[in-house]
Structure 1
Amino acid sequence: MCAMEPVLLLLCLSLLANGAEAKVLGREARFGGTVLPLRVQEVPKAPTQAPANRIRFRHDVSLTVTVAVGTPPQNVTMVLDTGSELSWLLCNGSCVPSPPPPAAAVFNSSASSTYGAVLCSSPECQWRGRDLPAPPYCDVPPAPSNACRVSLSYADASSADGLLATDTFLLGGAPPVHVLFGCITSYSSTSDNGNNATNSSEAATGLLGMNRGSLSFVTQTDTRRFAYCIAPGDGPGLLVLGGDGAAAPPLNYTPLVEISQPLPYFDRVAYSVQLDGIRVGRALLPIPKSVLTPDHTGAGQTMVDSGTQFTFLLADAYVALKGEFLNQTRALLAPLGEPDFVFQGAFDACFRAPEARMDAASRLLPEVGLVLRGAEVAVAGEKLLYRVPGERRGEAGAEAVWCLTFGNSDMAGMSAYVIGHHHQQNVWVEYDLQNGRVGFAPARCDRATQLLGAVA
């Protein structure tokens, strides 16, 4: 593997709610980094490399970045996911997904002179590391194929199969690096809404795995530090890949949780931190420490995940948060009053109100704080509520439906706490692998982008 030199890459991030194209700034930043488009867009959740106790929703908003892959380079859109390991691309040419996606949404492996399928006899295929739930494998004789394969399956009943392959990946001004990835040849999903990863030219081509596993992009390129700052609305934000962290604001760090022995429900290559408490306004919820700490099976870890939109809490913590939030907002928010309504199968604290009234109420909502060991992620204002698309109530549909952006992990089939990227907006988040920690600081991400020279 060719290790990436420690370089500082800035990737401009914009929220394209109306489908407007991000502006690609074709100039060098003041400190030598290169500006690339990274955006937050609504994309269907295609399969990701995650343990069986994780679930990915098919409809989600994801952080996406354009990466140049192959020779000559092809620009592909990849979801930036700190909760996944093996990067993958939907492929055509020698790899034909079923059903085939539009040409704009795939990587043409046959057109790249540097593409190579990993052979069964190679050390990469015979690798039996502890990180991937299912290691690469070979076809059983007498199958004629000599290619190494990967097979992925997920808790939402989606699955993907393909080849283990290698090609050059290029991000900004850094030297191209050879990276192992999954060239997906078939993908199936239980989705029946016609909006899956293979029916839109705007869909992501694949996923950039950024966890700490042996086959992640971070590990393969020897990246020891990266950070991002996500701006809300349509404002610009940035991703910093590499460097020494000098560009970051003053950060509060929380150590990564390490467990040496394998446990069935603990993801050892995730960015796992310790959740010490949850507060609503000034009220610290009476949640026992045992509820916030991984148990003997590993269930109950807390993960920082850029690949999940919202934040999920185990049932005991979720019930406590929901009850206190409803109590403190009784005079501000009108409950939906439909006990059977559960958004995305995990969000049942929902409300109804006209948009203007909710905009005014959001400024008065109590802040929710996720208290970590040495740091805190504070969620306030508009980030606390999410408008459910297509749901209207009242006379002539005058009222929209809104749900609290904290979900119930148990209802979603998970056994972990997950801090999603919706609650990381206007927060500088730094993943410091060199020192085994994650840093947080409140930030105006649009201003940070300007100060670092990522916008004109």
Structure 2
Amino acid sequence: MAFPLLLLLLQSFISYSTTKPIILPLKNQKIPSMSLPKPPNKLFFHHNISLTFSLSIGTPPQNITMVIDTGSELSWLHCKKSPNTQNFFNPLLSSSYSLIPCSSQSCQTQTRDFPIPPSCDSAKLCHVILAYADESSTEGNLASETFRFGDSAVPGTVFGCMDTSFSSTPLEDSKNTGLMGMNRGALSFVSQIGVSKFSYCISDSDPGGVLLFGDANFTWLRPLNYTPLIQISLPLPYFDRVAYSVQLEGIRVSDKLLQLPKSFFVPDHTGAGQTMVDSGTQFTFLLGPVYTALKNEFLNQTKGILKVLDEPNFVFQGAFDLCFRVNVSEPIPALPTVVLMFRGVEVSILGGRLLYRVAGEERGGDGVYCFTFGNSDLVPLEAYIIGHHQQHDMWVEYDLKNSRVGFAPMRCDLAAKRLFFRV
């Protein structure tokens, strides 16, 4: 990052991105059910829907697809040094690729927020291991390369060139070239390119949505309501200091406020209990006592509307134990609204966002649908995580300059059509 030419190019990118936003199509990629593990009664926690966008890297450019993940720092690619480069990046074909030594600043100081510190391999190159909540992991070397998207090129972008991965769902793992880390860490993609804002809008339909770097100054965009990011400077064992951490203050089901102590929503002395906005996690997870209160109130308000799946051992993805039988030939009945009450803003989760049909699970003429809020204690996770399923049809803005996250209801398919097809 110290080379004058690189600084000039980065300054050009930053200047461009602040005057004219970079708008990219965002896709909802569904993983075929045949790739998911299916024990008799329990489906292990995994991601079977990913948010992806396409770009190119290297010289000459290689086309890749990456999952956007606001819950991760380091971007990484599946690397393969062979002629078959489908869903892989081949570093041997790029003249702008370079490996990063252990002695570099990127390896020694900029990785301070990595959960697993980097190590030095036999060639004195920076070796990294990344592990995720679904028990998948990947490892390889820190490297730099030119990333291209929109009309911009960003040389010297630091990322992980990964040659070893472990996943319980290998077909899922292989459908994308890699993952784009977009949290607030020093080596996240948004930190490296220096944008002050980015946003996305996710849709179930085609087009799948929008990913935008820069200001979203559109006359048709509703005013956003913001909640501040929570900062804790002291290192705590269970607090992620570079996550988009906000303050959840309560939950309503329709007009009924869950009667819970405020202390349930505040991180404790270990950092456990923070609330993170995470595009890389599919559903929303709540700590045990809050989850139980929400589950009980939702059951109370849907009595006579939904038929509970009477199978105590059935737990979807290991954390979702509230499931129902719903007639697949009829529309889902009207459901109560779940309102997440953040400091300064409320986010309403409506209708179809509250239930998710489990692929391959049927009972007579009924499909199995599970409540899309899971129990963090069953995963286990030490945090509240707001997943992307609950963010659909919502314009979500990450305002890094002002340390806040903004929300506004939006038909994201229409937003994408306005931006890409000018309708």
Normalized against structure 2, the TM-score is what?
Answer: 0.89
Q: CA deviation at 1:158?
A: 3.0
2:368 matched to 1:386?
no
2:288 maps to what in 1? 315
Tell me how far apart the structure 1 counterparts of residues 246 and 102 of structure 2 sit (CA, whole Å): 37
Counterpart contact for 2:22–2:214, Cα < 8 Å: no
Q: Check 1:124–1:235 CA distance in 2 against 1; reply closer, same or farther (3 A cut).
A: closer
Tell me how far apart the structure 2 counterparts of residues 131 and 246 of structure 1 sit (CA, whole Å): 35
Tell me how far apart the structure 1 counterparts of residues 217 and 241 of structure 2 sit (CA, whole Å): 25
Counterpart contact for 1:7–1:243, Cα < 8 Å: no
Q: Check 1:216–1:57 CA distance in 2 against 1; reply closer, same or farther (3 A cut).
A: farther
Equivalent position to 2:71, from 63, 69, 83: 83
1:120 maps to what in 2? 102
Counterpart contact for 1:162–1:185, Cα < 8 Å: yes
Q: Check 1:454–1:255 CA distance in 2 against 1; reply closer, same or farther (3 A cut).
A: farther
Q: CA deviation at 1:353?
A: 1.8
Tell me how far apart the structure 2 counterparts of residues 325 and 157 of structure 1 sit (CA, whole Å): 30
Q: Check 1:156–1:236 CA distance in 2 against 1; reply closer, same or farther (3 A cut).
A: closer
Q: CA deviation at 1:5?
A: 1.2
2:108 matched to 1:136?
no
Amino acid at match of 1:223: V
2:173 maps to what in 1? 197
Listed as ranges, the matches of 1:8-87 within 5 Å are 8=17, 36-43=24-31, 57-87=45-75
Q: Give me the CA root mean square deviation.
A: 2.2
Q: CA deviation at 1:7?
A: 4.0
Q: Residue 266 of structure 1: SS of its match in structure 2?
A: coil
Amino acid at match of 1:355: V
2:200 matched to 1:224?
no
Tell me how far apart the structure 1 counterparts of residues 335 and 112 of structure 2 sit (CA, whole Å): 44
Amino acid at match of 1:415: E
Counterpart contact for 2:25–2:209, Cα < 8 Å: no
1:17 maps to what in 2? none
Tell me how far apart the structure 2 counterparts of residues 283 and 324 of structure 1 sit (CA, whole Å): 8
Q: CA deviation at 1:383?
A: 0.9
Normalized against structure 1, the TM-score is what?
Answer: 0.83
Equivalent position to 1:269, from 236, 242, 247: 242
Amino acid at match of 1:167: E
Question: Unmatched 5+ residue regions in structure 2?
Answer: 2-6, 33-43
Greater fraction helix:
2
**Quick one: percent identity of the two aligned structures?**
54
Tell me how far apart the structure 2 counterparts of residues 62 and 161 of structure 1 sit (CA, whole Å): 20
Q: Residue 105 of structure 1: SS of its match in structure 2?
A: coil
Counterpart contact for 1:177–1:221, Cα < 8 Å: no
Tell me how far apart the structure 1 counterparts of residues 198 and 110 of structure 2 sit (CA, whole Å): 27
What is the aligned length? Answer: 402
Q: Residue 48 of structure 2: SS of its match in structure 1?
A: strand
Question: Unmatched 5+ residue regions in structure 1?
Answer: 10-30, 45-55
Tell me how far apart the structure 2 counterparts of residues 234 and 338 of structure 1 sit (CA, whole Å): 36
Listed as ranges, the matches of 1:280-359 within 5 Å are 280-357=253-330, 359=331
Q: CA deviation at 1:449?
A: 2.6
Counterpart contact for 2:45–2:379, Cα < 8 Å: no
Tell me how far apart the structure 1 counterparts of residues 254 and 230 of structure 2 sit (CA, whole Å): 27
1:402 maps to what in 2? 369
Tell me how far apart the structure 2 counterparts of residues 344 and 244 of structure 1 sit (CA, whole Å): 36
Q: CA deviation at 1:122?
A: 2.6
Listed as ranges, the matches of 1:356-435 within 5 Å are 356-357=329-330, 359-361=331-333, 364-394=334-364, 398-435=365-402
Tell me how far apart the structure 2 counterparts of residues 204 and 58 of structure 1 sit (CA, whole Å): 15
Q: CA deviation at 1:332?
A: 0.7
Counterpart contact for 2:209–2:415, Cα < 8 Å: yes
Counterpart contact for 2:110–2:186, Cα < 8 Å: no
Counterpart contact for 1:33–1:173, Cα < 8 Å: no
